[in-house]
Amino acid sequence: MLQLESITRSFGDRPVLRDVGFDVPRGALTGFVGANGAGKTTTMRIIMGLLTAHGGTVRLDGKELGATTRPDFGYMPEERGLYPRQPVIDQLVYLGSLHGLSRPLARQRALDLLERFGLADRSKAKLESLSLGNQQRVQVSAALLHDPAVLVLDEPFSGLDPLAVDAMSSILRDYATRGVPILFSSHQLDLLETLVENLVIIQDGTVVASGPAETLRENHADKHRLVLDGDTGWLREVPGVQALDISGPEALIRFDSPHIAHQVLTESLQRGRVLEFSLHRPTLADIYREVIR
């Protein structure tokens, strides 16, 4: 497990990270979300040892990682880039050997990955001649080449077409299953919904929510959905009920106490037929909007 504890960092007088702490467990995908400028990239750079934290620690399986290189980590930086004018295979072999692979092994791994991404026939092409989506696949290949012990990916899904998103998801899933801790940032909340088991939400340099997605959903499942055969406008007048969204027969409401829920259901039944009364399960997008408010 990769653990961050009380990480702080500022640029000049401007604090960018304040007491950032969260876990990236093995066997699960951890999504990292937050607005632009919230501190995602800075956090990832600190994990990768590219930036020094002013306070706090990064630990892998309990062992503290200093401000050194992390040749056994796989990293995909925010602003993409490899060498545009170099053939794909050449730069992958180069990066592989910098990560400690022998050249033949690096070549073998690179070809396997390119094969998996459907790019085997482009291995000798210059990177700049590839489409953006394909360049992205090469970029991911670069992060995966050396069979990393930890994966840190900054926006791996941005700019990918639906098929590439599927390929990327399946690869990430694959590595997670092997027990590699994976942290990746994304703005595509709907994608995270089905993909991640773990979520970290950061806002203004502070972690505002983190943990297993299921737990977050449960913790934020505090709203009810009520559908009647008549108008639900009367709910606005009931004390102890927060009417969040009321339109005709449908209502999304929050109760101040379970007792009030019971009271509302009783009254609804008296007024007519109750078509639905359920605990509303929030999406990760719902949770995100709620916590960063």
Q: Which residues bind other proteins (CB under 8 A)?
A: 45, 48-52, 67, 69-71, 73, 75-84, 86, 94-95, 97-103, 142-143
What whole-number distance in Å separates Cα of residue 32 and Cα of residue 265? 39
Instruction: Kindly state the tokens that stand for 290.
Output: 């709620």
The DSSP secondary-structure symbol of 235 reads G
Query: Least CB distance from residue 141 to other proteins, whole Å?
Result: 12
Q: Of 75 and 117, which CB lies nearer to other proteins in the complex structure?
A: 75
- 290: how many CB neighbours lie within 10 A of its CB? 15
Q: Of 49 and 211, which CB lies nearer to other proteins in the complex structure?
A: 49
Q: Which helix (H) or strand (E) holds 291?
A: helix 284-291
Can you name the residues that pair with 23 across neighbouring β-strands?
A: 3
Phi, psi of 93 (to 5 degrees): -65, -40
Q: Letter for the amino acid at 245?
A: D
Query: Least CB distance from residue 196 to other proteins, whole Å?
Result: 23
The DSSP secondary-structure symbol of 10 reads E
Q: Of 129 and 278, which CB lies nearer to other proteins in the complex structure?
A: 129
Tell which residue, 183, 168, 191, has the closest CA to residue 116.
168
What whole-number distance in Å separates Cα of residue 248 and Cα of residue 174? 46
Q: Of 146 and 224, which CB lies nearer to other proteins in the complex structure?
A: 146
Phi, psi of 28 (to 5 degrees): -145, 160
Query: Least CB distance from residue 14 to other proteins, whole Å?
Result: 13
Query: Least CB distance from residue 218 to other proteins, whole Å?
Result: 36
Query: Least CB distance from residue 186 to other proteins, whole Å?
Result: 18
Q: Of 86 and 158, which CB lies nearer to other proteins in the complex structure?
A: 86
Tell which residue, 168, 152, 7, 136, has the closest CA to residue 72.
152
Query: Least CB distance from residue 74 to other proteins, whole Å?
Result: 9
Residue 216 makes CB contacts below 8 A (sequence gap 6+) with 199, 209, 284, 287
Q: Of 48 and 241, which CB lies nearer to other proteins in the complex structure?
A: 48
Please give the full DSSP string across 68-90, using - where no structure is assigned.
S--TTEEEE-SS--S-TTSBHHH
Instruction: Kindly state the tokens that stand for 20.
Output: 């950032």
Query: For residues 264 and 226, is the Cβ–Cβ distance under 8 A?
Result: yes
Q: Of 91 and 268, which CB lies nearer to other proteins in the complex structure?
A: 91
Find the farthest-apart pair of alpha carbons in the chain and give their distance in angstroms, rounded: 77
Query: Least CB distance from residue 64 to other proteins, whole Å?
Result: 17
Query: Least CB distance from residue 192 to other proteins, whole Å?
Result: 24
Q: Of 78 and 245, which CB lies nearer to other proteins in the complex structure?
A: 78
